[in-house]
Amino acid sequence: MRVLVIGSGGREHALVWKIAQSPLVEKVYCCPGNAGISRVAECFSLPEDGYEGLVLFCQEQEIGLVVVGPEQPLADGLVDTYRQAGLTVFGPSAAAARLEGSKIFAKEFMLRHHIPTAPFSVFDQSANAVAHLENTPGPWVIKADGLAAGKGVIICHDCQEAVNAVRQIMDDHIFGKAGHRLVIEDMLRGEEGSFIVLTDGKNIVPLATSQDHKAVFNDDRGPNTGGMGAYSPAPVLEGPIKDTIMATIIKPTIRGMALEGIPFRGVLYAGLMIVDGEPFVLEYNVRFGDPETQPILTRLTSDLVPLLLGSARGDIPTGPLVWRDDFSIIVILTSGGYPGKYDQGFEISGLDQLEDSPDLVVFHAGTKPSSSGYLTAGGRVLGITALGPTIELTRQKVYEAVKRVHFDQCHYRTDIAAKALRRF
């Protein structure tokens, strides 16, 4: 079978890497892909008429499965377009993708289905939001309703700071249409984890647990990024709490969507806060996490393709998945300055030294080819993933590998997976 993956980041590199290993797959295409992905898949640029323009390509190339990586094309209804054209496509419809595309939809959905989440209020006028801030104790978590490239959540400890955030979102439109309405919710304190499942709208296959590191600097300091590193499994989500998460969050979500006439197919990613041992939903994502997918898929021994196909067709195989017992840790190397302004175009060296190690995998996020190898071409540049028998040994292995790779203005966190160590 031929498979097309849509997207260009580290997550898509991991998906392509895993899909290409399937005995069912003859060839993988990726649009637009990146320099690392082009070593495993045939990459090509986005046509002028956008992803919708790929329908003809898929029909001509007899693509048996399309996998949509990022949230924006899902929210825009790409899966609906492809399905209408008769393609087999993995991912939720636009209606179901509202779980991620509208925070208000997600919060009200959770309220309707008694799914634990932080108490919240919804606003469509800045004056009302400001009055609410002035009459409630902080801290406050302010969330633009729509997709804002991962920047739409602002945590404020100070009332004036919160008022300014509301005014910037609703009156100055810093997130455009995404900020016409917003949610203000209570701040939850605890440890975060990512619980990711595959589903065909009815049956649910949980993937391994993981934890992301969103802040740019060690000890979770500095602004949030797309993710600076992740590991799997995440001890905070292991043990009996897994059953609680399935019973109180995942199953009610899938059942609730079906009951509301918008069955959810694809990946459901619940971003959770564990507060005194109880899980609460911070947010839903309707796509694979980036970078959580990289440590998860490097541990998955089972073939991913039958799961993706089954989810798309409505008959996902529910047999248990086989996982490597190892820990897997990814450290993201970024361009200094990210998530703000940064320079790019620097030569990357040292990657060839990592090629022969079976327990190391490099996933490219923002790179482009040069005559002598690769150049940096994005905020998140590379993710180095290592597998090992214990967290300590895996941390050692991944950071030894990270130190062999060089490019100007490179930045990475040195405490990825340190939280997991504290739990043993």
What is the contact surface with ligand GLY in residues (CB under 6 A)?
A: 212, 227, 285, 289-290, 292
Q: Which does 312 bind (CB under 5 to 8 A by kind): ligand GLY, ligand AMP, none?
A: none
Q: Least distance (Å) from ligand AMP to the CB of residue 157?
A: 11
Please tell me whether residue 270 binds ligand AMP under the rule CB under 6 A. no
Q: Least distance (Å) from ligand GLY to the CB of residue 41?
A: 21
Q: Least distance (Å) from ligand AMP to the CB of residue 143?
A: 7
Q: Which does 224 bind (CB under 5 to 8 A by kind): ligand AMP, ligand GLY, none?
A: ligand AMP
Tokens of 300: 């998955």
Helix, strand or coil for residue 319?
A: coil
Residue type, 183: V
Q: Least distance (Å) from ligand AMP to the CB of residue 87?
A: 30
Calpha distance 424→420 (Å, rounded): 7
Q: Which helix (H) or strand (E) holds 121?
A: strand 120-123
Which of residues 71 and 303 has its CB atom nearest to ligand AMP in the complex? Answer: 71
List the one residue from 85, 153, 174, 393 that touches ligand AMP (CB under 6 A): 153
Q: Least distance (Å) from ligand AMP to the CB of residue 154?
A: 9
Calpha distance 326→6 (Å, rounded): 29
Q: Least distance (Å) from ligand GLY to the CB of residue 163?
A: 27
Place of tokens 């991620």: 100
Which of positions 108-147 make contact with ligand AMP (CB under 6 A)? 118, 141
Q: Which does 122 bind (CB under 5 to 8 A by kind): ligand GLY, ligand AMP, none?
A: none
Q: What is the largest CA-CA distance in the chain?
A: 61
Q: Which does 91 bind (CB under 5 to 8 A by kind): ligand GLY, ligand AMP, none?
A: none
Which of residues 212 and 303 has its CB atom nearest to ligand GLY in the complex? Answer: 212
- Range list of β-strands (E), 179-336: 182-186, 191-199, 204-206, 211-212, 215-217, 221-224, 229-232, 266-275, 278-285, 327-335
**176 conformational bin, left if phi > 0, alpha if psi -120 to 50, beta if neither:** left
CA dihedral 197, 199, 201, 202 (to 10 degrees): -90
Please tell me whether residue 272 binds ligand AMP under the rule CB under 6 A. no
Place of tokens 């840790």: 329
Helix, strand or coil for residue 18?
A: helix
Contacting residues toward ligand AMP, per CB under 6 A? 118, 141, 150, 153, 155, 185, 187-188, 192, 214, 224, 271, 273, 282-283
